[in-house]
């Protein structure tokens, strides 16, 4: 199970608002810093443990469960799907 952005969803950095934004048909979501860090690693190749490990190299105290939690919410928002 490897998460990826759904068809038509794009993650980009908005320099006006100085934040990452998720763009999709008729919508804009502003992910918080944690969600943005996870989203950047959702390439359809990495698994949840891969993502947690990659984040662990940059931040202290990253737990796989928390990453899964964030992903579940992004799936609920229909911006991420499981490949």
Q: Which residues bind another protein (CB under 8 A)?
A: 7-8, 10, 12-14, 16-17, 19, 21, 23-32, 34-35, 66, 69-70, 73-74, 77-78
Spell out the residues 6+ positions from residue 27 whose beta carbon is closer than 8 angstroms to its own: none
Spell out the residues 6+ positions from residue 50 whose beta carbon is closer than 8 angstroms to its own: 41
| Radius of gyration, CA atoms only, the chain | 12
CB of residue 43 vs another protein: minimum separation in angstroms?
A: 17
| Residue number with CB closer to another protein (46 or 73) | 73
| Residue number with CB closer to another protein (25 or 58) | 25
């Amino acid at each position: 199970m490897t998460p990826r952005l759904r068809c038509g969803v794009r993650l980009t950095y908005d320099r006006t608002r100085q934040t990452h934004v998720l763009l999709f048909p008729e919508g804009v979501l502003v992910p918080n810093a944690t969600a943005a860090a996870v989203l950047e690693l959702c390439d359809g190749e990495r698994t949840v443990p891969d993502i947690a490990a990659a984040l662990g190299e940059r931040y202290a105290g990253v737990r796989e469960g928390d990453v899964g939690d964030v992903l579940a919410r992004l799936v609920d928002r229909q911006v991420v799907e499981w490949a």
